A and B are shown apart, each in its own frame.
Chain A
């Protein structure tokens, strides 16, 4: 019973994260929404691992590590773009388009 609820919550968080990525304009916020997605998945892993074994919880650690690495690179990229454009609004740069 608990697992279904947890999965539902996880899916909800994931959808909120996705919506955030689609609608928010600030690169940092967009990135945080992606983090929210990853953490929603972590919740799902933890919940499932209650039933099927420890594997899922191990996975959570990996995801956290990867998320940290991603944050490092991502923030570096955002800083780099801030230097060029003076803004982190993702709608402000479309030098590259069709």
Chain B
């Protein structure tokens, strides 16, 4: 197998077809590039895990000694001792900083060398070797994996730093960092592995860590249930992934990415059954991992974990693994137009459904969770319309601004939590105040100006307003969806037009619910009650990562300025190189794009209802901005929760004027109410009935099955002998009668 690989690599040498087919902007000859200690990037977080895990066990041991000495003891975490915090504080973020540094060196040199063909680091050892199957423990370094590594280590590092402040008072501090480091290790294995086998290791590993971290505060039964739910749903997805791996192996005799993507077109016919089956099964895995409809239900529940975990695992990295996998398998998806339509369909449907559900949520993390689901839907849409670079682009920018939003929310929750704890009396009408409920917030801008500012940046970014990151990435996706719909011979042209329309609507919904979040949290009157005096800005160790992410959320979009906008005002008149990320990723998706170009012809140059890219970019950013402003104006004046004291105006005219001509109400009745009803329906029926019902059903089914079988397990020897004899009769009958 490795022989095949190396011959393949030599066949793909710079002079070969691949290099010459690279886009014009890439140099004709890619310079030779040697990765710098790539194994260490992966190894460092693992070392961090080992060290922190050891410290966690030592802390537990010490506290169990404390119990024997008759002192109070918490069995899980050990007693709170600042001493147990010192080392993890340095080790946890430290290994991440080192890993990020290494990744950055590699990325920079590879970028400089215009890395064209993947470089295999290793094999470090042979993991599986049989006559037919060989899996090496090797890393594949190419444009995609390096970009992903940058995101994972970079955003991961920032979140580790943030956690230092956020988890300061948690007794399980070393354990927390151990899990977090372990997660990063598996995530790096996932994105850097050189084949589907290695990817699966990472895939399972991140799932395990996610499970551990969702249930991190396990004393709460509901939270540990959330972990279980995530676990079950993910296993459904993993099942599909595993079957797909086997089918790939059957087809190619290997699981390495390079021969698979190079040989896909030769192995499978366009639109063939086998390739469609493989891609659909892979999709099942991706849908589970990336929380797409109908397997999205675990992600909102996963918010039970600590907020930095939500930021790292359930927003920036792990949940994007599905998108990564689809892009990695782009050569296969390009061959299966049906699967592509399903990918795009699931993506856009998820985007829409999740966005509507986000409308009605009052828990700040729930809003962000549904928002994440929705944005992941956009990435799937991109991947489904063959715009793989757009998917990765949005993945990267989303990692920046969604991590920022979550960490910002974490800072808010942190502040609320402290305020509630230190507040002398509970606020009126609340026995226990939920620090995550936005109805208890409001006006936090005054107390937390920096958090407000960075959250504002992130909101503008996710809403898709120029010049923030989301503008470029989301606009590109919608644009590609339209272009794909208008492609010469697209078998599902009409369907894609519908997708395109739905995506447009969803983009505006995004602007709305994010603006609502900002309004309810930071603007208007404060509803925290007397505890409000204890609200304060987060400590510096938490603020600094927020600011860095905010900067990235502004600049991230400029990685990939579209060609069409490059020379215009929206592209700052060519000040930034065009399509940087696109050129960078071109070698990765080259095989897929070639297949697509051959199969469905040129993509359309205009949107389905006319207009070029510049026009649409202007329209979309203005529309998003309008929605944000309108939401601020409308919702900003609404008072939440504490409306009881205000009797309101008395005269009809006064009411009419105060009600702003009842525009709000009309709007409410004609637009908001139906949408909210739909949103409630989606949430109530789809989420709680169908999906939860299914999850519960699998649970009760196994229980009933177990019970039925145990009816026979009476402990009576005669009963056992009877069943045994019955079995013999069955076997005997089958042997004698059947043939």
Contact = CB atoms under 8 A, between A and B. Distances in A.
Interface stretch (A2-10, A39-47, A52-60, A89-97): A89-97
B146 to A, nearest CB: 56
Nearest to A96: B715
Contact of B715 (A22, A23, A24, A95): A95
Nearest to A90: B717
A93 B719 CA distance: 12
B250 interface: no
Contacts of A96: 715
Interface string B679-721: 0000000000000000000000000000000110111111001
A25 interface: yes
Contact of A94 (B710, B711, B715, B725): B715
Interface string A9-33: 0000000001001111100001000
Interface in A62-98: 90-91, 93-98
B722 interface: yes
Contact of B717 (A30, A95, A98): A30
Given A18-B725, A22-B721, A22-B725, A98 B716 contact: no
Contacts of A25: 718
Contact of A97 (B714, B721, B725): B714
Nearest to B722: A22
Contact of B716 (A18, A21, A24, A91): A91
Interface string B28-66: 000000000000000000000000000000000000000
A77 to B, nearest CB: 12
Contacts of A22: 718, 721-722, 725
Nearest to B726: A22
A91 B718 contact: yes
A93 B720 CA distance: 13
Contacts of B715: 93-98
B733 to A, nearest CB: 14
A51 B153 CA distance: 78
B669 to A, nearest CB: 59
A94 B714 contact: yes
Q: Is the interface of B mostly helix, strand, loop or mixed?
A: helix
Nearest to A19: B725
Contacts of B725: 18, 21-22
Interface residues of A, number: 15
A6 B715 CA distance: 37
A95 B717 CA distance: 12
Contact of B713 (A23, A30, A93, A98): A98
A97 B717 contact: no
A97 B713 contact: yes
Given A30-B717, A90-B716, A91-B716, A98 B710 contact: yes
A30 B717 CA distance: 10
Given A18-B725, A22-B725, A90 B718 contact: yes
Contacts of A91: 716-718
Contacts of A97: 713-716
A97 B721 CA distance: 14
Contacts of B713: 97-98
A22 B717 CA distance: 8
Contacts of B721: 21-22, 30
Nearest to B713: A98
Contacts of A21: 721, 725
B562 to A, nearest CB: 66
A94 B714 CA distance: 7
Contacts of B711: 98
A25 to B, nearest CB: 7
A25 B717 CA distance: 9
Nearest to A15: B725
A23 B722 CA distance: 8
A91 B720 CA distance: 11
A46 B715 CA distance: 37
Contacts of A24: 718
A98 B722 contact: no
A90 B719 CA distance: 10
Contacts of A98: 710-711, 713-715
A20 to B, nearest CB: 10
Contact of A23 (B710, B714, B718): B718
Contacts of A90: 716-718
Nearest to A95: B715
A89 to B, nearest CB: 10
A93 B716 CA distance: 7
A13 to B, nearest CB: 15
Contacts of A95: 715
A94 B719 CA distance: 11
Contacts of B710: 98
A23 B710 CA distance: 21
Contacts of B718: 22-25, 90-91
A90 B717 CA distance: 6
A96 B721 CA distance: 16
A26 to B, nearest CB: 11
B281 to A, nearest CB: 37
* Most-contacted residue by chain B among A22, A23, A90 (CB, 10 A): A22
Contacts of A30: 717, 721
Contacts of B714: 94, 97-98
A45 B630 CA distance: 95
A93 B713 CA distance: 13
Contacts of B717: 30, 90-91
B291 to A, nearest CB: 38
A18 B722 CA distance: 9
A95 B716 CA distance: 10
B476 to A, nearest CB: 60
A94 B725 CA distance: 20
A22 B718 CA distance: 5
A95 B715 CA distance: 7
A97 B711 CA distance: 10
A22 B719 CA distance: 7
Nearest to B729: A18
A24 B711 CA distance: 21
A46 to B, nearest CB: 23
Nearest to B709: A98
A91 B710 CA distance: 17
A19 to B, nearest CB: 8
B483 to A, nearest CB: 63
A40 B725 CA distance: 17
* Most-contacted residue by chain B among A18, A23, A95, A98 (CB, 10 A): A98
A94 B716 contact: yes
Contacts of A18: 725
* Most-contacted residue by chain A among B711, B715, B721, B725 (CB, 10 A): B721
A18 B729 CA distance: 11
Nearest to A21: B721
Contacts of B716: 90-91, 94, 97
Given A90-B716, A98-B710, 16 more contacts: A18-B725, A21-B721, A22-B718, A22-B725, A23-B718, A30-B721, A94-B714, A94-B715, A94-B716, A95-B715, A97-B713, A97-B715, A98-B711, A98-B713, A98-B714, A98-B715
19 contacts: A21-B721, A21-B725, A22-B718, A22-B725, A24-B718, A25-B718, A30-B721, A90-B716, A90-B717, A91-B716, A91-B717, A94-B715, A95-B715, A96-B715, A97-B715, A97-B716, A98-B710, A98-B713, A98-B715
Closest 4 A-B residue pairs measured CB to CB?
Answer: A94-B715, A97-B715, A98-B713, A98-B710
